[in-house]
Amino acid sequence: MSQCFLKINNLKVNVEDKEILHGLDLEIKPGETHVLMGPNGAGKSTLGHALMGNPRYEVTGGSIEFMGIDLLEENVTDRAKAGIFLSFQNPLEVPGITLSNFIRNAMEQRGGKKIRLWDYRKALKKQMALLNMDESYADRDLNVGFSGGEKKKSEILQLLMLNPKFAILDETDSGLDVDAVRTVSKGVEEFQKNGEGALLIITHSTRILESLHVDYTHVLVNGKIVESGDASLVDQINEEGFEKYLTQN
């Protein structure tokens, strides 16, 4: 078989010595959009952080293979350079570094070469317009004093600018009003359109999915994927909730 894109095999993850994921399997192919749903505390965010390599999340078993490399051997920086991106649920504030300088710096670090300022500002301006972000945000310190919605837009802006091969969106829609969800969703759609990038959208609501193309849906309950299906599963959960999966356990 040819080399796979992302393959998670029997993944077990501990947080503060407590096992949260108990052997999770998932395979994602290039360009696919997967949705991961589940009730609070199921371990959805844990999967995101384990993929990104958060040192607080300890992988105790299983494997993650990404484009031929053993991801568990790589540190956070190298995973990012390999093309993995995580949109944080609670993005951190970074005083003294402007949003614009930060993204350019990150792009140059990843690409290993300088980017012309003119080209960069042009691209940034375009993506900010798409996200209804006021241009002045480019010269504000990264996330400092941003509202919840602005922080999430800043994450999606980074997604669009860095254009990773595989992006995980961790509850990007939580705490946002209807308009903001629509804007964020538009940004994600742009990412889908852009190219080959695959997506794993972690959410416990379905609002963000309304206008997005979804290939697969998975339901995570108590640290295990209990059901997988196509986009229609989203609608089903929308109507029935997670109750049926909870009683199964």
- 52 is a site residue for another protein (CB under 8 A): yes
162 binds another protein (CB under 8 A): yes
Q: Does 69 bind another protein (CB under 8 A)?
A: no
Instruction: Pick from 12, 14, 39, 54 the residue near another protein by CB under 8 A.
Output: 54
Q: What is the largest CA-CA distance in the chain?
A: 57
CA distance 123 to 118: 9
Report the C-alpha gap between 200 and 172 in whole angstroms. Answer: 11
Match 């695959």 to its residue by tokens. 198
Please tell me whether residue 95 binds another protein under the rule CB under 8 A. yes
Smaller CB distance to another protein: residue 108 or 240? 108
Stretch that binds another protein, among 5-13, 48-56, 58-66, 209-217 (CB under 8 A): 48-56
149: alpha, beta or left? (left if phi > 0; alpha if psi -120 to 50): alpha
Q: Which of 2, 18, 55, 247 binds another protein (CB under 8 A)?
A: 55
Q: Which is nearer to another protein, 62 or 120 (CB)?
A: 120
121 binds another protein (CB under 8 A): yes
Rounded CA-CA distance 153/81 in Å is 22
Tokens of 40: 């609070």
Pick the binder of another protein from 117, 126, 129, 229 (CB under 8 A): 117
Contact between 156 and 86 (Cβ < 8 Å): no
Assess 94 for contact with another protein (CB under 8 A).
yes
